[in-house]
Structure 1
């Protein structure tokens, strides 16, 4: 989460400053040891994370932390928010087994990483929020996984309590995308929504769409993704906890098409790095899905 006054582009740190900080994939990590079977069931793994690229303090070290987490969890899809250009360049060089899709080029923006061995990109688009005052949009990718059609969406909705109206306008755009998706397509949205629980009913997501955290039983250990009682990156003067980062799922509903359902969720980035800071001021969310 950033304040509305933050407009730093992050361009004072060049990608070259980070090149001596290359990250090796551990030999015992899933990225190094996992081998896909010839006939995999329809499964999907995903991480969504606001990486706080606007924060310059220990940013190269924190970017290394992100790469290490991604190498460890080896997700099929990664949704990222608050990227800045040097951060993107570093990720492209370190994560060559992923295709990077960028939701912007200047300032801060969203992005997706798609594992090349598992996810085939059909097309992508950037959907503008017409009334936003900040650099916000909806990044959408149509992909194929195991022969199945998926629509992947990520966004960073408007921040701060006083911007509730604009945030809900943006959620309406997401809602329309859920509603207009073909019935043979599985739709997954993940991102930093900045939503408060009382705001969501004002928009009313379609009945076919589930909040993954709620579907999995509202487990307390992964409720709060922005938590200043534990995460000290922002040095907040008072404790605050919010479930800003969320994942929504609309399974394909056509007969004969695999029906995807969430089966696991966990927070990532909970360990403080050697530099004394966490990877981000947000925890990331790791989630897996499988066909019912």
Structure 2
């Protein structure tokens, strides 16, 4: 198992077979107090919302992830899943910072059709300045893991992967400082990228006076 090879981390899985997501937390930094899986019962692709309550450096947090329904034809189901997930973000315990990230397969148009994000939910790519260099997490003009027809001129690039945040009821405890893309170098032994998506790395400042 992967957990045996990464002894510094605890792996929290949404399932043990078939389709699943995983949240990894580092020992001695993160203390997990609760873990829940909320199935999307209308999904035809086995999708679910994964939710972990924890403390990170004494900061009470909720970490959430999901891989929302894929494919253009499933737009309505994907928006339904996003609405359910955002309901959990908004209604999480008010003394906790909420971080919700994953491959949402969602487009800006679909967010607009949902009438935008709920009040208090922040899109961290936007909050850190909308850097065009880090906008597209699925960029087939650069990432060659997926093969398209030789004569296909259009190479799609979309901001499928996102991280949202909700502050606790008190003053904000953490502030996003930078938003970066990772996994943009090929693995030499196989001449492939780690994924057909880029990963996201966000750095935060912690206001320690608010963690007491």
Q: Same fold (TM over 0.5)?
A: yes
Structure 2 matches for 1:102-251, cutoff 5 A?
Answer: 102-203=13-114, 204-237=116-149, 238=152, 239-251=155-167
> How much is the aligned-residue C-alpha RMSD, in angstroms?
1.2
- The alpha-carbon deviation at position 183 of structure 1 amounts to 1.8
Instruction: Encode CA deviations 1:45-87: one digit per residue, 9 max, x unaligned.
Output: xxxxxxxxxxxxxxxxxxxxxxxxxxxxxxxxxxxxxxxxxxx
Contact 2:90 2:121 in 1 (8 A): no
Which of the two has greater helix per residue? Answer: 1
Secondary structure at the residue paired with 1:266? Answer: strand
Aligned-partner Cα distance in 2 for 1:227–1:149? 35
Q: Deviation per CA, 1:100-123, whole angstroms, max 9, x where unpaired? A: 000112223100100011000001
CA contact (8 A) 1:267 1:283 kept: yes
What is the deviation of 1:250? 0.5
Contact 1:138 1:155 (8 Å CA) reproduced: yes
2:182 aligns to what? Answer: 268
Give the secondary structure class of the aligned counterpart of 1:104: coil
Report the CA distance between 1:206 and its aligned residue: 1.6
1:288 aligns to 2:199 (yes or no): no
**Contact 2:34/2:53 (<8 A) preserved:** yes
The Cα of 1:140 is off from its aligned counterpart by 0.3
Consecutive unaligned residues in structure 1, runs of 5 or more:
1-88
User: What is the CA–CA distance in structure 2 between the aligned matches of 1:119 and 1:290, rounded to whole Å?
Assistant: 17
Rounded to whole Å, the distance in 1 between the matches of 2:56 and 2:146 is 38
TM-score by length of 2: 0.91
Q: CA deviation at 1:207?
A: 1.6
- For the residue of structure 1 that corresponds to 2:186, the secondary structure is coil
Residue pair 1:252, 1:260 contacting (<8 A) in 2 also: no
Quote the offset at 1:253 in angstroms.
2.4
Match of 1:30 in 2: none
> Which protein, 1 or 2, shows the higher relative CO under an 8 Å CA cutoff with sep ≥ 6?
1
Question: Structure 2, unaligned stretches of length 5 or more?
Answer: 208-212
How many aligned residue pairs are there? Answer: 201
Query: In 1, distance between residues paired with 2:126 and 2:148?
Result: 28
Which 10-residue stretch deviates more, 239-248 or 100-109? 100-109
> For the Cα contact (< 8 Å) 2:122–2:165, is it kept in 1?
yes
